[in-house]
Chain A
Amino acid sequence: MSAPLSRRTLLKLAGGTAVAATAGPSLSACSSSPTASRQQQNSGVELPAYVAYQGVKPDLAPTKEGVMSGFLRYPASPVAGVPDRPGTGAEELTAFIQQFRPIPPPASRNEYWRNVNDKLGVTLNLQMVPSANYADKLPTVLSGDLPDFTMIVNTPNLPQLLDAKCQNLTEFLAGDAVKDYPMLANLRPEAWRTTVFNGGIYGIPIPRERIGVIWFTRVDLVRSLGFDPAPTTYQEFKELAKGVTNPKENRWAFHGPAGVRDLILRMMGAPVGWQEEAGKFTSVHELEQTKQAISDTRELVKAGYFHPDTFTDGAPFKDWIGAGRVVMVSDNYSAWPQYVMQYLKPNSPVQLDGMLPPKYDAGAKPNLARGVPSFSTTVVKKTGDKERIKLMLRVANYLAAPFGTQEYLVNRYGKEGVDYTMVNGDPILTSKGEVEHTAEFYRIADAPWPLYEPGHPEETKKEHAYQVKAVPMTVANPADTLYSETYSRKRNTLNTLLDDALSEVLQGRKDVASWDDTIQRWRKQGGDQVRKEYEEAFAGSH
């Protein structure tokens, strides 16, 4: 018995910073740098045309800069976005995906899954791995025959892997070719750029938004204590922290010292990730601003504004902010719906909002870090069968139907009346639906997310309003569009080195001056090599 494929085998090329277009098949010892010529090759690839899907009208409009569209309720008569069935009912596809939710019942006992298969005209089998164990299983998957779709999230030696086992999709998707798949054409070029390697398009990106990380604040607590949740200077920010901290009441200002350091850097208007000037790259960690930010954070730690367990691994900060144990925390934008769901209950006073970084000093121009354009990339198994590839792209097209379409309801909610019912214009899952719908087809292909809080339209408006202010402030990491093999391999080691050292300074075990030694070690262990590769890649694309 085969289980249907997950629709969402998202391929993430390089987690945080998008791995960009580089990589020749193997390192060839040649002329001007191989990195530069690879980058050149990749920059020259024609990306799929961008045709924003117009079939759904959002209540709160998106903007060109990247503010997400907002919906106060599900559109009343959902449009049929994909009129043609992708398959004929006879085909079978398999996808290897990460699963963040509980394993669903198999298709034979799952109406939602069967419905998806039916609408796709394809039997989708899913090989699901708990997300925490993805890195354990992926190598075994790579060592054998790949399934049809494989979700790739930041694996080392990606270009070589793609060359060896994955299908080059350029002829099917580049330029106007993507118009055969309107939902894929709905994905932004910056997302597609993360799938370009070896001079071709190698996968379907799972898009993410520009908004990035948000500094969540319990505005109800802040106001009730007599403070303004939108301080305009760093001084005011510190006073706010002092004012809300009260250990006797089990309340501290912050969780997450690294998040606070980052926020201070944003207050200063510091570069994001890397500073690029005339083709020269300097890591933000090497700048004086970082030392200053670390020193400031240390002062805040010493003053006792952080939750005592803030340095513990796996600290349950989401519970803390809900309980009022901490008042401010930095989290991904996708956490907002989660907080709404968990904490916005009828009798609960909890109110959350995003805080923009205040000015560090008079001359500062605060900014925000732009989110990465994609979470993962779905690669296609190398095959000579063009019809099969087109079938797979049609399936991905269906799965990428955006919010507001009929297909979206099929993909995410299930069968109407069985898995969900419409309540006040919002689809609400039945208990059967809750169990059945946990298959994460959206890891294979997905549309950009909307802002949508069923039953809490005022929250949607709040989120949208925040983004209107915040997104124009975002600044991209110049390395996001470049690829460094060394970074791809060593990101964990290098980042752990910096995180450990930061932790030691912030906890007072070393002083701020030791940061220089840390940077020296970081440079030797790979930082310089990464810099070199980025500079070469940059040269190749300009």
Chain B
Amino acid sequence: MNTTAPRNTRGRSPALAPASLPAKILKAIVLVVACLLVVMPFVSVISTSLADQQQITETGGYVLLPDRPSLSAYSAILAGGVVARALLVSVGIAVVGTSLGLAVTSAMAYSLSRPSSFAHKPILMLVLLTMLFTPGIIPNYLLIKQLGLLNSWWSLILPVLVTGFSVIVLRSFMIGLPRDILESARIDGANDLQIFVRIILPLSKAALAVIGLFFAVGFWNSWFNALLYLNDPSKLPLPLVLRTYVVDNARLGAEQLSAESGVLPPAESLQMAILVISLVPILLVYPFLQRHFTKGVLVGAVKG
């Protein structure tokens, strides 16, 4: 089964070396196909954002490679600074929301990580139920209004500082942490806070990174609450502003007075440019987080 010659496993345990060439090839094929399926449409997205009206009209919507690439869609969107400002707003909301959200969520997950603790089951039930029953749009709106949070960015952050899903998943990671470390810390006299900060959090890096990513992406993409709660046009986050650039073909004819509209870049290239603009920050952030949830984090913690 195992060959006698040493394998180059690039620093990983020899036990993990793949057995055979066929397996390797199969894996390679699967991954290459998967990547192509994903990448091709994205190439089309970028190309379309750079294409001009004539080519779009010819190809009926999406182009594979632009004949006469132009940045006019991007400059149309970024002109006037509205989108740039909305981008800053979204970054701010994402940063504040993610940090606060992680803090509150990890704290709550920690409080639920000992199944025998007082009121454990009722609190857990409370969390679980939030995933099953959601309040309607209007009650949410009225609450925000009552709290005086209308037109404030806090209305976008506070209600989602914790979600049932993130608490339950994080809790499950924390429960799976080795008990003996915790017990030995307790024996050494550490209190709950110290255990949390010095042991639990560092050991949960992978899970925290993932949940943090979910938070960040959630905040970055969210627009519906902003739609309902923000009235001041200068406070709008990026996705909401970009939605007004998305041209609804069927509707446009009925309501657009175009005589004084000037010539906008074609609708499709605007839409694709919007997509690219909203993707770029995520693409920049993700690699930094990826490190945290792909390396083994328990190595070294249990030995000795």
Contact = CB atoms under 8 A, between A and B. Distances in A.
Contacts of A133: 227, 243
A130 B244 contact: yes
Contacts of B145: 144
A463 to B, nearest CB: 12
Given A139-B137, A140-B228, A332-B254, A318 B245 contact: no
Contact of B259 (A314, A319, A452): A452
Nearest to B59: A323
A277 interface: no
Interface in A304-352: 314, 316-320, 322-323, 325, 331-332, 334-335, 337-338, 341-342
B52 to A, nearest CB: 11
Given A100-B252, A136-B224, A337 B258 contact: yes
A40 B82 CA distance: 50
A332 B231 CA distance: 31
A262 interface: no
A433 B261 CA distance: 9
Interface residues of A, number: 61
A437 B260 contact: yes
Contacts of B82: 102-105, 435
B240 to A, nearest CB: 7
B287 to A, nearest CB: 32
A137 B255 contact: no
Contact of B141 (A131, A140, A323, A325): A140
Contact of B257 (A143, A320, A334): A334
Contacts of B261: 101, 341, 429, 434
B260 A131 contact: no
A137 B227 contact: yes
Contacts of A334: 253-257
B80 A427 contact: no
B158 interface: no
B255 A131 contact: yes
B180 interface: no
B241 interface: yes
A20 B57 CA distance: 41
Nearest to A337: B258
Given A143-B138, A332-B253, 20 more contacts: A2-B232, A3-B232, A3-B234, A102-B244, A128-B244, A130-B244, A132-B251, A140-B138, A316-B61, A317-B249, A319-B57, A325-B60, A332-B254, A334-B253, A337-B259, A338-B252, A338-B258, A341-B263, A434-B262, A435-B79
Interface of B: 53, 56-58, 60-61, 77, 79-82, 137-138, 141-142, 145, 224, 227-228, 231-234, 236, 240-241, 243-246, 248-263, 268
